[in-house]
Amino acid sequence: MRLDKKVAVVTGASKGIGKGIALRYAQEGARVVVTSRSTDLLAGVVEEIKASGGEALALPVDVRSAQSVQGVVDDTVKAYGRLDVMVNNAGISMVKASEDLSPEDWTRALETDLFGVFYGCQSAARQMMKQDGGAIINITSCYGIVAVPMRAAYCASKAGANHLTKVLAVEWAGKNIRVNAIAPGYIRTELVQDVIDRGFIPLEAIKKRTPQGRMGEVEDLLGLAVYMASDESSFMTGSVVSIDGGWTAYGYL
């Protein structure tokens, strides 16, 4: 029970990485608020958590709206009295040649993958400043560290989120608010499956390019997500940690 008595919000918790983090946080004793746009899927996640003895609440959010994100934080505090952990995980992919990227594509990716992360950090910090601090965890991407063709909007958003993590960490360190990021490599979820299915990246190419020779599973991220949320990481802030089977470090063919 490494998160006993903590209250956590996870955005994009209807499926994939966010759902995995929400379920694990509940197993570790946290009361978890699961958020995304799909209320039906969120209801299923809450049911799953409750069925295994945990406590959870579903709240709809569109992370592109600062007001919507602030509403989630306010409702969390109304329900549970505080907010200890904010996981800004909601995200979308955007694969397109840069010369064809429309202003709408660019805006949609930036609004979800970068603005949404900022709104989550800001709303959480406003509450954390009223209490004894807290932990913010941004789920960014190895694409925010290295450059990948056809991903201008996604890479720019994720690079922005990585740097934002560091800026807010140094700005809020004196308020006992820690801000860290996990930068995953390829993790088996709908988001990546979609990119594979559309033929943008063959699965075999992912395996070949990854020194460990496999794709990651959601489970691979959960230990660090718990550590960053728990008091065990109390001297860690402004860190962007890759979990990618060696993908980002690799510089050979």
Give the footprint of ligand NDP on this chain (CB under 6 A): 11-12, 14-18, 36-38, 41, 61-64, 89-92, 112, 139, 141, 184, 186-187, 189-192
Report CA Rg, the chain.
17
The identity of residue 197, as a single letter, is: D
Q: Which is nearer to ligand NDP, 148 or 191 (CB)?
A: 191
Q: Which is nearer to ligand NDP, 81 or 213 (CB)?
A: 213
Enter the DSSP assignment of 172: H
**Structure token pair of residue 176:** 């006992």
Q: How far is the CB of 196 from ligand NDP (least distance, A)?
A: 10
Q: How far is the CB of 163 from ligand NDP (least distance, A)?
A: 16
Q: How far is the CB of 67 from ligand NDP (least distance, A)?
A: 13
**Structure token pair of residue 157:** 């958003």
Beta strands in 38-165, from DSSP E residues, in sequence order: 55-60, 85-88, 134-139
Q: Which is nearer to ligand NDP, 16 or 54 (CB)?
A: 16
Among this protein's residues, is 154 annotated catalytic?
yes
CA distances (Å), 98 to each of 101, 106, 152, in order? 5, 9, 6
Of residues 80, 154, 250, 252, which has the active-site annotation? Answer: 154
**Under 8 Å CB-to-CB from 79, ≥6 apart: which residues?**
33, 57
Q: Which is nearer to ligand NDP, 7 or 187 (CB)?
A: 187
Q: How far is the CB of 1 from ligand NDP (least distance, A)?
A: 25
Which residues form the catalytic set?
154
